[in-house]
């Protein structure tokens, strides 16, 4: 049994999950801070 497909699967899974978490956190932060800033200027 070739072991590389298992190694690649682990790296893809961890990479996608970490990237999605970081990206979602960044988007939520920007959205929330922009809303706070917009309300402050009103």
Partner 1 sequence: MHIFANPVRFLQLARPLTGWCGWIGAVLVVAGLGAGLFLTPPDYLQGETVRIMYLHVPSAWLGMAGWGGIAVASIMELVWRHPLAGIAARAVALPGAVFTGICLATGSIWGRPTWGTWWEWDGRLTSMLVLLFVYIAYIALAEAEADRGGQGRIAAIFGIVGVVNLPIIHFSVLWWRTLHQGESIGITGSSIAGSILWPLPVALVGFTLLFVSIVLMRMRAMLARQKVEARLRRMGTEP
Residue found under tokens 């939520």: 28
State how far the alpha carbon of 16 is from the alpha carbons of 20, 31, 33, 41, in Å. 6, 22, 26, 37
**Torsion 32-34-40-42 (CA) sign:** negative
Least Å distance, CB 18 to partner 1, is: 7
Least Å distance, CB 7 to partner 1, is: 5
Position 39 contacts partner 1 (CB under 8 A): yes
> What residues make contact with partner 1 under the rule CB under 8 A?
1, 3-4, 6-7, 9-11, 13-14, 17-18, 21-22, 25-26, 28-29, 31-33, 35-36, 39-40
């Amino acid at each position: 049994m070739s072991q590389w497909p298992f190694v690649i699967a682990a790296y893809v899974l961890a990479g996608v999950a970490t990237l999605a978490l970081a990206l979602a956190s960044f988007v939520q932060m920007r959205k929330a801070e922009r809303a706070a800033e917009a309300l402050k200027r009103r």
